[in-house]
Amino acid sequence: MTEKRSEFDVIADVLRVATLGSKESEIMTGCDLTRDLLEKYMPAMVVLKLVGVEKESENFYRTTSRGLEFLRFYHGLRWLLWGKDFDFLLINILTRLKKDRHPYYVR
Q: For 57-107, how does the pLDDT look when each residue is reduced to its tens digit (9 = 90+)?
A: 778 999 999 999 999 998 888 777 666 555 566 666 767 776 655 555 544
β-partners of residue 23 are: 60
CA 42 to the chain's CA centroid: 11
User: Using 50, 70 and 90 to split pLDDT, how confident is the model at 28?
Assistant: very high
The DSSP H or E segment spanning 8 is helix 7-17
Mean pLDDT over all residues of the chain?
82
Between helix 24-31 and helix 35-47 the angle, nearest 10°, is: 110
Give the span between the Cα atoms of 15 and 49, in whole angstroms: 11
Give the span between the Cα atoms of 43 and 22, in whole angstroms: 16
- 7-98: what CATH class? mainly alpha
pTM over 0.75: no
Q: Residue type for 38, please?
A: L
DSSP reduced 3-state for 14:
helix
The DSSP H or E segment spanning 25 is helix 24-31
The residues spanned by each domain of the chain are 7-98
Quote the pLDDT of residue 40. Answer: 93
